Structures are given as structure tokens and as C-alpha cells.
Amino acid sequence: MLAEQISIFIENKEGRLAEVTAILRDADVNIRALSLADTTDFGVLRLIVNDNEKAEQALRKEGFTVGRTKVLAVEVSDEPGGLNKVLDPLWMQNVNVEYMYAFANPQCKNAIMVFRFDDHDKALEIFKKHQIKVITTEEIARL
């Protein structure tokens, strides 16, 4: 049920992000979503792409350190309170968000939220109970 995200260590240097995106372009990898967490010296770029294998190989070949992390992607309806409907049951059950980012589902008007929780199993259970749609890596690849 979980989706997979790749993460890349990059120094805060001019043009570094563009180098990453160029590598992915040349490997014919499509970026679905991305988030960048940074400090003054470095950042961690987190990506949802259509082909993790290809992306990781291409980046490693260019000397990047690449990690893979399980994340939860869920569909959030495009209306007031859409995101809140997802978050409310989570915090009530003490599931915490470590980070999150969003992208638009090209097939409909809804957004897809990517979450990293401190307890994915519990989050999955809650989503199931509240009939919140969880999106798998395969589904992301097909978007």
C-alpha cells in the first residue's frame, strides 16, 4: 500500500538543483512531485517520480547519494476542509506527520498528498477506516 519516494543529498550550491533535474530529464524520468528541505549548508530533495529504479541509477552514476523511503500518498478532495478530513483522524490517534508535500492529480481535480508519518501502519489503518484513498507506487507511475 505504501508508495516510495527517492531522496537526494544536495549541497546548497548554485545550479545544483538544475543538475539533478537535468540528469532525470536525460534518463527520461518524469517528476510527479518534489519537496526540498534545507539548512544553510545542504538540503534533502525528496521526489516522487514515475520510475524510481531508473532515477536512482542515473543519479548514482553521477555521484549522488540517493535514499529510498516509504511514504503514504493519499487523495485529497479539492474542496474546503479536504485536507483537514485527512489530518483530523490522524492527530486524534496520535499519528504525527514528519513531513508532507502535495501535487495535483492530472486525472481529476483532486490533490495527492504525500506523507511521512511516524507510524505508517497506524496511519494506514486509520485511512482504511475513514475510507481515504491510498495511492500506490504503481498507480503513481501510471498517472
Partner 1 sequence: MPIFDIDFETMPREGLEAIQLRRLQNTVQRVCATVPFYKKQFETAGITPKDIRSLDDLQHIPFTTKQDLRDNYPYNMFAVPMEQVVRIHASSGTTGKPTVVGYTRRDVDTWADLMARSLSAAGAGSGDIIHNAFGYGLFTGGLGAHYGAERLGASVIPVSGGNTRRQITIMKDFKPTILCGTPSYILHLAEVADDMGVDFKDLFFKSGIFGAEPWTENMRHELESKLYLKAVDIYGLSEIIGPGVSIECTEEQNGLHVFEDHFIVEIIDPETGQVLPYGESGELVFTSLTKEAFPVIRYRTRDISSLNPTPCTCGRTFVRMTKPAGRTDDMLIIRGVNVFPSQIESVLMEKQTTRPHYQLEVDRKGNLDTLTIKVEINDSVFSDDIKSLQTMENKIATDIKETLGVTARVMLVEPKTIQRSQGKAVRVIDNRNF
Site residues (CB under 8 A) for partner 1? 5, 7, 9-11, 37-39, 41-44, 46, 63-65, 67, 69, 98-99, 116
Return the closest-CA partner of residue 111 out of 96, 92, 132.
132
CB of 45 or CB of 132, closer to partner 1: 45
Three-class HEC string of 15-48: CHHHHHHHHHHHCCCCEEEEEEEECCCEEEEEEE
d(CA 118, CA 98): 7
Smallest separation (angstroms) from partner 1 to the CB of 125: 23
Question: Closer CB to partner 1, residue 17 or residue 110?
Answer: 17
> To the nearest whole angstrom, how small is the minimum distance from the Cβ of residue 9 to partner 1?
5
Looking at the Cβ atoms of 19 and 139, the one nearer to partner 1 is 19
